[in-house]
Amino acid sequence: MSSSDKFFDLVRHPIKFRLFLLSKLPSAYFSGVRVRYVDEDKAVVSVPYKWFSTNPFRSTYFACLGMAAEMSTGVLAMAHTYKQDPAVSMLVLKVEGNFMKKATGLTSFTCEDGQLVRQLVREAAASGKPATAVMRSTGKNKDGDTVAEFAITWTFKAKTS
């Protein structure tokens, strides 16, 4: 079993991952951000429209949409850096968001950049030099309409001892 498979087992475990969210990302936990699907190449993360994620305009607060978008990219990045030897650190450098439609229900963000991240993490580990990726996440409502699109720039670097 690969290290990314071990990470996916943790993410897919309903109790362990919720405890992780509660302890490390409580705002995502209370906002209802959830990983709905994840594999080596793709992640789908949702955020509901509910009291904790709402804004005064009766839609999902943009920061909650951003949390779900970032998690859809971050879960792929974490999977490919999990227990790497040498260890590889990851950091968000930039976030860009475009909003097309009011988010008034469940919004699901999909990122399909797992192959890109896997390659960049390998390069960073082998070369010792930072590698940067712009990962894209698209949020859609239950009707399939695009609500928002995010471009999240991540950097990966092998840790030195």
Angle at 98 between CA 96 and CA 103, to 5 degrees: 125
- What's the pLDDT score for residue 143? 96
Element spanning 73, H or E: helix 62-81
Counting as low any pLDDT under 70, the low residues of the chain are 1, 161
Backbone angles phi and psi of 131, in degrees to 5? -125, 140
**Whether the Cβ atoms of residue 46 and residue 110 lie closer than 8 Å to each other:** no
pTM: 0.92
Kindly state the tokens that stand for 42: 């793709």
The predicted-structure confidence for 52-67, as pLDDT tens digits, reads as follows: 889 899 999 999 999 9
Q: Which of 155, 115, 149 is nearest to 134 (CA)?
A: 155
- What's the pLDDT score for residue 20? 86
- What's the pLDDT score for residue 161? 62
Q: Is 50 left (phi over 0), alpha (psi -120 to 50) or beta?
A: beta
User: Helix, strand or coil for residue 9?
Assistant: helix
Domains, the chain, ranges and CATH?
3-158 (3.10.129.10)
Distance CA 146, CA 16 (A): 31
